[in-house]
Amino acid sequence: MTIQVTSTGDKVRVSSPYHPDFPARAKMLGGRWDPEAREWTFDLRDENRVRALCREVYGTDGSGEVDLVTLRVSLDDLRDDRQVWVAGRCVAERRSRDSAVRLGDGVILLSGGFPWRGGSSKYPGLKPYTNTVLEVRDVPRPAAEAAVREYGHAVVIVSDEVIV
């Protein structure tokens, strides 16, 4: 997941992956979506606010070294929607009732799994099996710590050693 905040002329530009919380909050800061460049633009005077927004949503504003960690996410206690968002990224989603679940970038299935279909045509759902656990890699530590606070025992920061 790459976040870039750059200043050019009288604008601040943000290039980041989609997150459902970002557009509404970006607009509150006067942000405008540039579809050709596929990035958000803001007034240069709001650079500190824009960087703070990126740190809140993604755990980083792309500046400097970021301590990356790995998360273990148990889906047993999380809401069963069509998507699960943890630490600023979509870790699993089912786009339609009859489609297979797609895991996000840097996400692997450690145990459990998902049925081939889930939910209704209007409301697709992940429908994870009991004890389904995902590993989410390369998460900025601030986003990981926020996820632990938000989800409690369902999200755990683990070491980066290889676990068999």
Domain map (residue ranges) of the chain = 4-58, 68-158
Q: What per-residue confidence (pLDDT) applies to 66?
A: 79
Q: What per-residue confidence (pLDDT) applies to 160?
A: 57
| Mean predicted lDDT score pLDDT of the chain | 92
Residues 5-43: b if buried by 16+ CB within 10 A, e if exposed: beeeeebbbbebeebeebeeebeeeebeeeeeeebbbbe
Confidence band, pLDDT 50/70/90 cuts, at residue 63: confident
pLDDT at residue 163 above 90? no
Per-residue pLDDT tens digits for 35-61: 999 999 999 999 999 999 999 998 889
Per-residue pLDDT tens digits for 100-129: 999 999 999 999 999 999 999 999 999 999
Residue 10 CA to residue 74 CA, distance in Å, equals 44
116's tokens: 């081939």
More confident residue, 1 or 5: 5
Q: What is the pTM of this model?
A: 0.79
If you average pLDDT over residues 78-97, what whole number do you get?
A: 92
If you average pLDDT over residues 89-101, what whole number do you get?
A: 95
pLDDT at residue 157 above 90? yes
